[in-house]
Amino acid sequence: MPIIEVRSLSKVYRPNTGAPPVEALRDVSFSVEAGEFVAIVGPSGCGKSTLLEIIAGLQSPTAGEVVVLGKPVQGPRTEVGIVFQEDSTFPWLSTLENVKFGLKARGVPPAVQETLAKEVIQLVGLQGFEHHYPRELSGGMRQRVAIARTLVLRPQILLMDEPFGALDAQTRIVLGNELLRIWQEIQATILFVTHDLLEALRLADRVILMTRRPGQIKRIVETAAPRPREQTPVASAKTAELANMLWEELRQEVV
């Protein structure tokens, strides 16, 4: 049984300013198996963030439904964690406090908060920076804090919206490798939005390519490289071939 089922999902935003409605998604259907790593690519504004927010229960669809772990999504669920597209760390909290934040909100006892937060800080490689504030960290480290804040809640499903979007190419590769390691360690299911085709192909089991707005699924590609994988700056011949093919399809949507 799939862990996420997206069924004929459509979303139309109707601004209350009198501006015309925006059709963000049209008849999107796919499913994700437990333990899978699925990437989503598509032109800017095609509804990728909207799709993740609907799966997370933060937005409601106009038509269709999402079923997560066998139950229709009606609001945020503890089994589903999301890492947002924008830097979502709290600037007034240290790394440790940022990571503990969601545990505190769930009423976890302080001693347990401390233990769980430290474990996850270790997992994302931020040990030694527990008491630093976001302004004292690099962009890549802040991204790790954002990822740790979500991971500490132990979601079975991790929705990631361009989590490495603001990072340089080297840091993306390093964090991509770390994400693969963490994914295997915690055995989560990941849905990962990126605009980087090579990144999508290197990380994911399958890549979903979307059309321009209203976003529909144009193609789903199996990457099929053996695991464990290690990202390197130069892609394999097979990956490069798939990236060129995806780029051809994506180009038709962008121009």
Ligand X SMILES: Nc1ncnc2c1ncn2[C@@H]1O[C@H](COP(=O)(O)OP(=O)(O)OP(=O)(O)O)[C@@H](O)[C@H]1O
The binding site for ligand X (CB under 6 A) comprises 13, 15, 22, 24, 44-50, 85, 213
Closest approach of Cβ 184 to Mg ion, in Å?
26
Measured from the CB atom, the residue of 85 and 88 that comes closer to Mg ion is 85
Closest approach of Cβ 161 to Mg ion, in Å?
6
Closest approach of Cβ 223 to ligand X, in Å?
21
Measured between alpha carbons, how far is 248 from 251 in angstroms, rounded to an integer? 5
Measured between alpha carbons, how far is 94 from 57 in angstroms, rounded to an integer? 28
Measured from the CB atom, the residue of 33 and 86 that comes closer to Mg ion is 86
Closest CA relative to residue 112, chosen from 78, 81, 153, 80: 153
- Which one of ligand X, Mg ion, none interacts with residue 13, CB within 5 to 8 A by kind? ligand X
Measured from the CB atom, the residue of 112 and 254 that comes closer to ligand X is 254
3 state SS of 34: coil
Measured from the CB atom, the residue of 38 and 121 that comes closer to ligand X is 38
Which amino acid is located at 82 in the chain?
Answer: I
Measured between alpha carbons, how far is 69 from 77 in angstroms, rounded to an integer? 10
- Which one of ligand X, Mg ion, none interacts with residue 239, CB within 5 to 8 A by kind? none
Phi, psi of 120 (to 5 degrees): -70, -35
CB 225 within 8 A of CB 207: no
Write the CB contacts of 129 (distance below 8 Å, at least 6 apart in sequence). 95, 121, 137, 141
- Which one of Mg ion, ligand X, none interacts with residue 116, CB within 5 to 8 A by kind? none
Q: Considering only 77-85, 93-101, 120-128, 138-146, which stretch makes contact with Mg ion by CB under 5 A?
A: 77-85
- Which one of Mg ion, ligand X, none interacts with residue 245, CB within 5 to 8 A by kind? none
DSSP track, 136-164 = GS-HHHHHHHHHHHHHTT--SEEEEESTT
Please give the residue whose beta carbon sits closest to Mg ion in the complex. 49
Write the CB contacts of 67 (distance below 8 Å, at least 6 apart in sequence). 4, 5, 7, 73
Closest approach of Cβ 51 to ligand X, in Å?
7
Closest approach of Cβ 44 to ligand X, in Å?
3
CB 217 within 8 A of CB 38: no
Measured between alpha carbons, how far is 83 from 165 in angstroms, rounded to an integer? 12
Measured from the CB atom, the residue of 61 and 96 that comes closer to ligand X is 61
Measured from the CB atom, the residue of 116 and 158 that comes closer to Mg ion is 158
Measured between alpha carbons, how far is 55 from 77 in angstroms, rounded to an integer? 10
- Which one of ligand X, Mg ion, none interacts with residue 143, CB within 5 to 8 A by kind? none
- Residues 10-49 touching Mg ion, rule: CB under 5 A, are 49
Q: Kindly state whether residue 50 participates in binding Mg ion, applying the rule CB under 5 A.
A: no
Measured from the CB atom, the residue of 43 and 81 that comes closer to ligand X is 43
Contact positions toward Mg ion, by CB under 5 A?
A: 49, 85
